[in-house]
Amino acid sequence: MSEQKNLINAAGPEPPRHIAIIMDGNGRWATRRGLPRTVGHKVGAETLRRIQAYCHKIGVRSLTVYAFSTENWKRSKDEVNFIMGLFRTYLLEAIESLERDHVRLRFFGDMSAVSPELQSLAHQTDEISERLPEDYFHANVCLNYGGRDEIIRAARRFASDCAAGKRRPDELDENLFANLLDTAGLPDPDILIRPGGELRLSNFLIWQCAYTEFYFTDTLWPDFTESEIDRAIAAYQKRERRFGGVNNK
């Protein structure tokens, strides 16, 4: 652990406030070992638990992970059912541990498409999280989530408010629109990490990542370790973030 801490401290004093991760490579990890894809998802779920706990420990304020996209329903029924079972286990554990571990949990995405049981469990975690202090660690899981779908849902909410006379079209600006998104109240990600070797966003947080730093690695998600987080943070802390401006130094 001291070696990991040294890697971070050598690059800068503080970790990013908000880390986003595309958890990619579960299926390929299993296939390369001659195992069913479901084994990769199970190991990937354990990786999420470790990485979430580690981010909390080193002072990251928010972690947002891409767990199941609006396009992932195209996978086989058996694989989808297995993944939903993992979500069920994750939620049951969260209900027991959120208050103890000082974690606020939110789900982003269209939850109406998942089973009533999962919706109910997610509602329970919402209720628990709302009771907890805002300065607790924020764990955000994107389930049946797509960046374009999120923007469309936000636009529909604004249009509905306009139709009801609650808003005027000329009131819309970036801040108002951001507060209509699933991530309302959260700062945009400082860094997006994508394991698995792919070099694209895959419809993840496309509004929020306008000025996010990207970090790509060939490591598959089930093999992702705390040291990988440290490397990503070290790389992030060496970057100069100008947000469209110019460094006059």
Residues belonging to the active site: 24, 72
- Identify the bridge partners of residue 41 per DSSP, sorted by sequence position: none
List beta partners, residue 63. Answer: 19, 139
95 contact partners, CB below 8 Å, separation of at least 6: 121, 124, 125, 128
The b/e string for 133-158 (b: 16+ C-beta within 10 A; e otherwise) is: eeebbbbbbbbbbbbebbeeebeeeb
**Residue 136 CA from chain centroid, whole number:** 16
The count of other CB atoms within 10 Å of the CB of residue 74 is 8
CA–CA separation, 130 vs 170, rounded Å? Answer: 32
First to last CA, the chain: 36
